[in-house]
Each structure stands twice: as C-alpha cells, then as structure tokens.
Amino acid sequence: MLGGQQPQKHYGVTSPISLAHPKESDHMYTQKLIEAMKPFGVFEDEVEQNHRWGIIIQRVQNELPDSPARDLPPSAIANVGGNIFTFGSYRLGVHTKGADIDALCVAPRHVQREDFFQSFFEKLKKHEEIKDLRAVEDAFVPVIKFKFDGIEIDLLFARLALQCIPENLDLRGDSHLRNLDIRCIRSLNGCRVTDEILSLVPNKENFRLTLRAIKLWAKRRGIYSNMLGFLGGVSWAMLVARTCQLYPNAVAATLVHKFFLVFSKWEWPNAVLLKQPEESNLNLPVWDPRVNPSDRYHLMPIITPAYPQQNSTYNVSTSTRTIMSEEFRTGLSVTDEILRGKAEWPKLFEPPNFFQKYKHYIVLTASASTEENHLEWIGLVESKIRVLIGNLERNEYITLAHVNPQSFPGSKDSHSENEFVSMWFIGIIFKKVETPESVNIDLTYDIQAFTDTVYRQANNINMLKEGMKIEATHVKKKQLHQYLPPEVLQKKKKVGDRSPKHRLVELTAFFCYPPCTVMLHVNVSLRHLPPPSEFGRYKPHLQRRIETHFAGREPARQLQRHGLRHAIQLPNPRKQALQGRLRQRGQVLALALTSVCVSHYQLVLGQQAVRVTQSCLPAESRHPSHKYLCFVKFLQ
C-alpha cells in the first residue's frame, strides 16, 4: 500500500457499495437527526443507565442459585455462583429511557434448571421491590418476568459445563453449546447474536445512532413487532448492521438514508446475511433452504450471524412484508427530501393515521374479569393474532390484512360482565370484483377458526378461566367511533396542511401588516401544499404590496441599505443549501420584515413551507425594534 497504509477491513458477504467519507454537511445532518430524536426519549443519561445496571448486577445476582454443596471442593465454593449477561438493545447500547432489560443468567454445571425456576423464583417473591413476578417455564424460550424497582426485566437461564462463570466470559464460542439441552441453546442465542452483530459492524457508534433512528422510525410507523409479523429489535439491528457494512465510512444521517435505499430495492426473499454461515460438528438445526423445505417459504429472511443460524423473521406474512416494503419506499422519499433541504428530520418520525387508511376493519376484543387474568389472556391472544392474519390472507377476496400493533382499552359498557378489556384493530383491503353485487363476503369462517385456535391453546396450557372471552367483529370505517375516542380517529394535520383560502389570508396578512419574524433559515417542503397554478390568484396583489414598499428601488440596494448584507452571509453549508434552494425559483420577491422575539414561525409562500427563525442573525442585530429586508427568489 502507498505510504504504508493498511487496506480498510471489509465486513459482510459482499464488498462495500461506497467507501466515501462524510462531508461537513453529513455531520450537520447527523447533528440535526440527534436533536430530532431527543424529544422521543431515545437517549438514556449515564446516571439512569448506571442505576439500571446496578439493579441487575448488585441485587438480582445476589439471589442467584448456587447450590455450593454438590460435591464441590472447598476451594471452589467461593466461585460457584452464576453471572448475569444482558442482551438485546441494552447490550447493543441502544436502550431507551424506561425500556425493559433482557438478561441471561448463566450458571455453572452444578446448578440445575429447577434451582432457577423454583428456589430462585421463591427468593424473588420475598422482595417487596419486585412486582408482576411470573415464571413461563414451558415457553419456547423459558423466562422469568418481573419488575424490579419499576424496571421490567426478562431473565433467561442457561447452564454451561463449567465449574464457575467468569465475568468476562465470551459466549460466542461454539464450544459452549456442546452437550447443552435445546432450551439452554435458545437462551444463549440472544447474547451470542448480539455480540456477533457488534463484532460485524465497522463503526459501533455510527451503528448505534443509526439503529436508534431506525427503531424510533419503525415504532412510530407501527411496524415494530416480531410477534405480530413485523420485525423485532434484533431484525432491525441486523438490517442496520448490513447497511453499515455496505457504507462503512458513512455517518448516521447518510446511513439512515442508505438504509431506506438498500431495503426499498431489496429483492425478497433473498436472505440478508451479515457473514457467511459457518459449519459446525454440533449438528444443530440451522436455516438452510437447500436442506429444509420449510425454509423456502420464508418471505423476508434475515439470518442471525451466530451458530446455529436462524431466520429471525419467520413470522413475516405477505401482508406485513407488503406494508414494510411500502414504508421503506416512503422512508426513502422522506430522507431524499431531508438531505436536499426540503424537509426536516421530524417528518420521518410522523406517525401514519391508521384509522383513516382503510374502509374496512376487524375489531378484535379480549376481555377478562380480573386484572391478573386479563394480563395473562391478552398475552396469549396477541401471540395468536398472526393466525388471524394468515386466515384473512387466504381468503380469496382479501388483498391485505394490516394489524395495528397498538392495543386500546375497550369499553366496559359493551362487556359489562368483564372489568378489563383490550382491543386490536386490523385494516382490510378487499379485492375489486367485476360484479360486487353478486358477491357476499363472509369473514365468519376466518374469524371462527382464529377464536377456536386461541381457546384450544388456552385449554391445552390450563390458562382458560371463567370470564376470559375473545370476539372479532367486521366494521366499516364510519363505525369506528363506537370503539375509539375522537382524538384517536381524527385526521392528523401536517405542516402546511391548510385550505387554499386560509393560506391566501395568511399571506395577505403577512404583507399588509409587516410586523413578523425575520426569515433567514429556510427549509422547503412540497407535500400537502397548493399547486403552482394557485399562487397566480394572489400574486398580483402581493406584487403590488411589494412594489409599493420598495418604491421602485432595487431589492439588492434595499438589503444593503438596511444592513442585512451581514445576515445573509450564512456560514457553509447553510449558505450553499439556501442558495441552492433559491436558484430553483425564478420570481423575485422582497419582503419587509420586523424581527420579533419568537423561536419559530410557519410561513407559506407559494409551494414553500418556510420555517422561520432568528437564530441565524448576528447577535448584535437581534433587537425587537430593528427592521430588516429579506430577499427571496422562487419560480412558479
């Protein structure tokens, strides 16, 4: 290599798409992204982080089962206890304020599973700080769930063939899996996958910030739920990690945009891999469509990098893949606007209005007579909703079934015998038929098959108790007011979403009554604004006002006369971005403005939604009594 430089290490199963390093504007957009995420509480301060970590390590670990008397020499008794390892978002370093913690209790060989789910469980019961304690020993991945000092914790268990468990134990070694039962292997998988993901990204800080943004976006857009057939935390982490591998030198703002670019064009069901699957002589079942026929039917495979490799998205259905693919395309469009200076990052995190999107819905209701029974019942019902989605997708008259991951409290009036009620809503799109009057679409069979499945499962695990009920009803959009309050159903207004009449009045008032805020920092948005033809209706009136004010003088001289030449000499890249936007417009307008002490003000000019601030003014110019002129150039 020239100059003795080492070649950059490549990650992933292909070469990078781009090795470009970030520009100054990329760092600026990244800082804006951070500021846009702060109001959503996605960053946890160090004090709270240490508090949460201390709770797990210092308190819970003190109660871990040790059973030191089982044929151990006295010299080993001091080191017989297990250790706690976090995984998921906490171990990835992307935990949010108040979020729960996924943790794994790794115990040495002399500690039995019964010690964890019985003696340890009984110890936890005695703690007053522990609430909502429950053991789910017969789950696919057995777990103890509880709240400790207000923090929700899911604690798994794995027993290794070691005499003691050191604090710095690397769980990625495949040798740890030898001779383990399948439950321990599944429990270890979370830590192993998390550690492997972190080892496969070129820059951990860029990865973490990008993942925070994508997780927030997915939650806000209603597509964050592995249980309901969307993607869970580990799947989103792997998609972001793959993006980082393809653009190893990019910063978060660029990576968010490239994330949408890559996966809006991804040809599913081609699998997403972070590394080539590794062979092992442990003979554990792995995801391999060449060997396993069932793996060939997975619609959106994202493969975990740790052995045994598994598809983390086996719950994805035709509908949920369609919905997520559309969201990827929307995300690409929005981030295109943001990086061109035509929108701001908060637009990416705007939630959709699910209840305005469809004409038909299914209202799924789960009710129980006690709070404890209700908590248990809704957990089972929610885990089976994807069965209902599958039933609906197989209906020849249904194109798409879209479940909203958010549940809502139900009305007690319609379930008077039950105090605790939860509802989910599923949007339905029916296929267009040539002779709709001759088709009677009946969803009774699809719904009945689903409710039968839930009741049967509840009976099999001895969960079903008196008062536990489930109902599913097909309704039209206009009937939703019977189930939800107006504030949930009302159409959300977006920036610039005003009627043309309102917009005209606002503009006229702006020019007729000049006291307004100084406009220097300009951001353009084209969505939900009037077409260019509309501006012609009121342009002559505004032009007369401007000409009267300037009294025939050139706008540029007016700017200099009023001392604004310093204010418009904005630092790069802000100046370049502003000049670029103004070059896209041809009509010249000069606006008389008076600065006022406000943080921001929304002003609509033709097709532009202009965000107004006074932060760009020189400090010596920020006085309420000073008058300024701003020169704006735009094209019809």
Residues recognised as catalytic? 89, 100, 102, 154, 215, 224
Structure tokens at 428: 């339905």
Q: Within 10 Å of residue 290's Cβ, how many Cβ atoms?
A: 7
**DSSP per residue, 85-142:** EEETHHHHT---TT--EEEEEEE-TT--HHIIIIIIHHHHHT-TTEEEEEEETTSSS-
Q: Produce one character per residue of 121-144: b if its CB has 16 or more CB atoms within 10 Å, e if not.
A: beebeeeeebeeeebeeeeeebbb
Report which DSSP code applies to 275: S
First to last CA, the chain: 54
* Closest CA relative to residue 31, chosen from 213, 157, 156: 213
Decide: residue 534, CB within 10 A, 0-12 exposed, 13-18 middle, 19+ buried: middle
**CA pseudo-torsion sign 324, 329, 335, 337:** negative
Cis peptide before 352 (omega within 30 of 0): no
Task: Give the whole-angstrom CA distance, residue 617 versus residue 518.
Answer: 8
Residue 299, helix vs strand vs coil: coil
From the DSSP assignment, how many helices (H) and strands (E) are in the chain?
18, 14
Name 77's Cβ contacts closer than 8 Å, sequence gap at least 6: 68
Q: What is the CB-side half-sphere exposure of residue 484 using CA atoms within 13 A?
A: 23
Burial of 149 (0-12, 13-18, 19+ CB in 10 A): middle
Residues 6+ apart with CB under 8 A from 366: 374, 377, 378, 381, 421, 422, 423, 468, 469, 470
Extract the tokens encoding 407.
Answer: 């549940």
d(CA 562, CA 264): 49
| Distance (Å, whole) CA 160 – CA 9 | 34
Distance CA 592, CA 539 (A): 16
User: Distance from CA of residue 400 to its chain's centroid?
Assistant: 22
Tell me how far apart the alpha carbons of residues 118 and 113 are, in angstroms, rounded to a whole number.
8
- In this structure, the number of other CB atoms found within 10 A of the CB of residue 218 comes to 23
